[in-house]
Amino acid sequence: MSPTSRPLSHSDLLQLKRWNTPTIYNGWEQITKHNPGADAFNIEETRDFMPQMGPMVGYAVTLVIEPGNASHRQTNPKAGEEFRRYIASIPGPKIIVVQDLDKPRVLGSAWGEVSASMFRALGCVGTITDGAIRDLDEMTNAGFKALARRLCVGHAHVHPVRWNCEVEVFGRTVHPGDLIHADKHGFMVIPPEDQPRLLEAARFMDSNECTTVIPAARDSAGRSTDELLANLEASITQFSANVKAKFSREGEW
């Protein structure tokens, strides 16, 4: 997606950060024509190493590295500078999505205190990498969030191999410009056609839960089992009816 055609304002993106990624998914599945079970989120397990920072939302900029191969620096010695100029040319917020060609081996980390500080200054809010990160505390202090496969000690040869291309991380394909919402549960990739209605849908589904099933489930004091079950069934029916009225499809529980 061209940065000039992004359908969401900066205010919209800030509001999307108010909810966790499962809540965003709940809204997304009501408006998409994609398969929610196959086309949404990471298939392989990933780890959020800064859960205290909450969710991150941004547009994907993509990068491929191969830390175990030293020849890339000789092939294109200016690739690092060229990649940084590319990053600087794109408006934020940005999430750098990194495919590590060495996986499942981890031979070095592209991320540490220096790189996190540098790319944070260039408008990036974090990274999703199927490789490793290091300098965990320092990255956190820089305000740069990371979802990764693991931690490691060294950086090895993390010269950029290619960028602004399709990548695959944790079983999910990511294209440059895809909108990403990520937190400790994992990450989801929202295609361009679903972005305009995403905020409204997430807000509605959160409100629908909070006015139907959740209060019915928590209002159990002094009720018999039969009364509690009756309240739950009524709330589920109302929840589904609200979804159908809003989106013309059945809500599921």
75-79, 83-87, 150-154, 160-164: least confidently modelled range: 75-79
Q: The domain 3-194: what is its CATH number?
A: 3.50.30.40
Cα-based angle 195, 200, 202 (whole degrees, multiple of 5): 85
pLDDT at 221: 82
pLDDT digit string, tens, across residues 19-70: 999 999 999 999 999 887 777 899 999 999 999 999 999 999 999 999 888 8
Q: What is the mean pLDDT of the chain?
A: 92
pLDDT digit string, tens, across residues 130-144: 999 999 999 999 999
pLDDT at 55: 98
- Does the global pTM surpass 0.85? yes
Query: Would you list the DSSP string of the chain?
Result: --GGG--S-HHHHHHHTTS-HHHHHHHHHHH-SS-TTTSSB-SS--EES-GGG--EEEEEEEEEE-TT-THHHHH-TTHHHHHHHHHHTS-S-EEEEEEETTTTS---EEESHHHHHHHHHTTEEEEEESSEE--HHHHHHTT-EEEESEE-S--------EESS-EEETTEEE-TT-EEEEETTEEEEE-GGGSTTHHHHHHHHHHHHHHTHHHHHH--TT--HHHHHHHHHHHHHHHHHHHHHHHSS----
Is the pLDDT reported for residue 171 higher than 60? Answer: yes
More confident residue, 5 or 223: 223
- Tell me the residue type at 112: G
User: What six digits make up the tokens of 68?
Assistant: 């175990």
Alpha carbon 247 to its chain centroid, in Å, reads 24
User: What six digits make up the tokens of 5?
Assistant: 């055609």
